[in-house]
Amino acid sequence: MAAAGGVRWRGRGCFGLGLALVALAAAAQAPLPPQATPADAFVGPPPLIPAGDPASSEFVGPVLVAPFTILDTQVLPGKRARLEWNAGMSFSGSEVISPVVVAHGVRPGPVLCLTAGIHGDELNSVEIVRRIVNGVEPADLGGTLIAVPVVNLFGFSRNSRYLPDRRDLNRYFPGTRHGSIASRIAYNFFIEVVQRCDALVDLHTGSFDRRNLPQVRADLSRPEVREFTRGFGATTVLHSAGSRGMLRNAAIQAGIPAVTFEVGGPGELEAEEIVHGEQAISTLMHKLGMTRHLPAWDEPQPIFYDSSWVRSDAGGLLLGRVRLGESVEPGQVLGIVIDPINNIERDLVSPVRGRVIGMARNQVVLPGFAVFHLGEETSEQQVVSDAQRGSRGVTDEDGGRDPVDPESLPLDDELDQD
């Protein structure tokens, strides 16, 4: 259906975003007459809409949208601009400039931010964001899309997850002006870009030679975040409270609903996963009223999972016997760990009926290595009630661990790889 032309936004309004999602989802099932929109969903900042009230029955003219200002640049309605964010903190004396692409629509709507490449080797995320922002048509867009395909250009240029000092940028948000280099970069990005967003999707892949089925990770104990997760179509949704310093956690603290979108593994471009990510984000934009086009899904609803990891108790060579996304049964052999010195094979067995939502690539593993991430399908209500009881949700393998900086080392049960 056509996006609701009269949606107005609160600016920094997670509440408004949630209401708009609910309103738009409801409208998709039972289209409302053009002017008969719920009044409480349409509260907007006066500067965005100088004259006329699209929600009133008297309103007849086009809605005027003001230019959007970011990074000291004005972007006119209906235009796309490629701006530059200077991460500063050069290691070599030269400036480090990351592109920030802004598509500013002609209709009122949310400012949606897409960030990728905070871990410099997570290439699927970079390509998804590039495709999305090139694919939108600003002359037919509601709201504003801010896309940053490569936040950590330092890491990207070296095909590394980390900053050059081996710090993990995604443990330093919102950063501080006078902190470590990671903290300064995070601070600068947060002030210059993130604070302009009404909602944020931070795209990642698995880390350390693990791959993830496309999945949204979000703090489902927060209603405004929960609403946001419903926008991604037929995508796995996992509760994850996240860790200190993650971009999504810092954004939420600043009143900006934010989630992580994980897709595939690091270090390569995976065509199917990229298409899924593109489709999920396109669906989100449609649900937010930004675009008119809704991608076709076989099953349009999000799928909620409880999840747990199967770890190897022995070291050796891992050889997987299941594929990502495969359904598994209790007792099914998921893979074997081979000790070639003593000529021993050990089975890794599924304890549950579920689906492989993440798994390690074949590699050398140490005892305790998290190999298979299994999801057990459950209801949204169950996941939410677990989240509200204080479950941290997806804890992870050793993915979130920053190997050198004690300041960022999470407790063992807080590990998470976003």
Residue 246, classified by CB atoms within 10 Å of its CB into exposed (0-12), middle (13-18) or buried (19+), is: buried
Q: Which of residues 187-226 bind Zn ion (CB under 5 A)?
A: 204
3-class DSSP string for 19-67: HHHHHHHHHHHCCCCCCCCCHHHCCCCHHHCCCCCCCCCCCCCCCCCCC
Cβ distance to Zn ion smaller for residue 202 or 224: 202
H or E element: which one contains 27? helix 14-29
In this structure, the number of other CB atoms found within 10 A of the CB of residue 5 comes to: 17
Of 14 and 263, nearer to Zn ion (C-beta) is: 263
Q: What is the nearest approach in angstroms of Zn ion to the Cβ of residue 248?
A: 11
Q: Which stretch binds Zn ion (CB under 5 A): 121-129, 178-186, 191-199, 331-339?
A: 121-129
Per CB under 5 A, which of residues 13..32 are in contact with Zn ion? none
Give min distance, CB of 161 to Zn ion, in A: 7
DSSP 62: P
How far apart are CB 237 and Zn ion at their closest, in Å?
18
Distance CA 218, CA 10 (A): 23
Q: Is 395 helix (H, G, I), strand (E, B) or coil?
A: coil
119 part of the interface to Zn ion, by CB under 5 A = yes
Q: How far is the CB of 48 from Zn ion (least distance, A)?
A: 33
For Zn ion, which is the closer residue by CB, 122 or 278? Answer: 122
Residue closer to Zn ion by CB (options 196, 204) is 204
Question: Judged by CB, which is closer to Zn ion: 204, or 239?
Answer: 204
User: How big is the chain, counted in residues?
Assistant: 418
3-state secondary structure 358-384: EEECCCEECCCCEEEEEEEEECHHHHH
The region of 13-21, 114-122, 213-221, 322-330 touching Zn ion under the rule CB under 5 A is 114-122
Count of residues of this chain found to bind Zn ion when the rule CB under 5 A is applied: 3
Taking the complex as a whole, the smallest distance from the CB of residue 150 to Zn ion amounts, in Å, to 13
Nearest residue (CB) to Zn ion, 162 versus 228: 162
Tokens matching residue 372: 């298979």
Q: At its nearest, how many Å lie between Zn ion and the CB of residue 291?
A: 26
143: left (phi over 0), alpha (psi -120 to 50) or beta: left
By CB under 5 A, name the binding residues for Zn ion. Answer: 119, 122, 204
